[in-house]
Amino acid sequence: DARVTQTPRDKVTEMGQEVTMRCQPILGHNTVFWYRQTMMQGLELLAYFRNRAPLDDSGMPKDRFSAEMPDATLATLKIQPSEPRDSAVYFCASGTNGNTEAFFGQGTRLTVV
C-alpha cells in the first residue's frame, strides 16, 4: 500500500528551537510538494521539487525556512529559529510529472510555544 509518510505526526517545541520535518515520498514519484495549512491562510505552497531539484520555493520565508531532498526517498523541511506564527499543519505530497494527482501524507502538526 504505497503512501507518503511524514514524521513526526505532532511536534511541540519552544520558540527559537530548530524544527525538522521529514517526508518519504511514494517510490517512483519524482515531484514533491510542501504545504502549510492554517485556518487563516488555507493551504499555502511552500516549496516544490522535481527530480530532487527545487523548482519553486517562492512561498517559503527564506530567512528561517529551508527545504531539501538529500535523496529520492527523503524530503526535509527545516525551520530555524521557530516562531509561534509557524504553528500549523505541514503537508508533504508527492506525484509524477504527468496528469496525475498528488498524494498527501498525514501531515505534521507543529505547535510553537
Partner 1 sequence: AQKITQTQPGMFVQEKEAVTLDCTYDTSDPSYGLFWYKQPSSGEMIFLIYQGSYDQQNATEGRYSLNFQKARKSANLVISASQLGDSAMYFCAMRGYVVQGAQKLVFGQGTRLTINP
Give yes or no for residue 106 binding partner 1 (CB under 8 A). yes
Helix (H, G, I), strand (E, B) or coil at 53: strand
Chain residues 29-48 in contact with partner 1, contact rule CB under 8 A: 33, 35, 42-43, 45, 48
Helix (H, G, I), strand (E, B) or coil at 45: strand
Alpha-carbon 90 to chain mean position = 6
Give yes or no for residue 5 binding partner 1 (CB under 8 A). no
- As given in the structure block, the three cell numbers for residue 43 are 493551504
Give yes or no for residue 93 binding partner 1 (CB under 8 A). yes
Helix (H, G, I), strand (E, B) or coil at 85: helix
The correct pick among 12, 55, 73, 83 for binding partner 1 (CB under 8 A) is 55
Give yes or no for residue 99 binding partner 1 (CB under 8 A). yes
Distance in angstroms (rounded) separating the CA atoms of residues 14 and 22: 19
Contact (CB, 8 A) for 112 and 87: yes
The correct pick among 56, 73, 85, 111 for binding partner 1 (CB under 8 A) is 56
Give yes or no for residue 65 binding partner 1 (CB under 8 A). no
Give yes or no for residue 96 binding partner 1 (CB under 8 A). no
The residue whose grid cell reads 508533504 is: 92
Q: Which residues bind partner 1 (CB under 8 A)?
A: 33, 35, 42-43, 45, 48, 50, 55-56, 89, 91, 93, 95, 99-104, 106-107
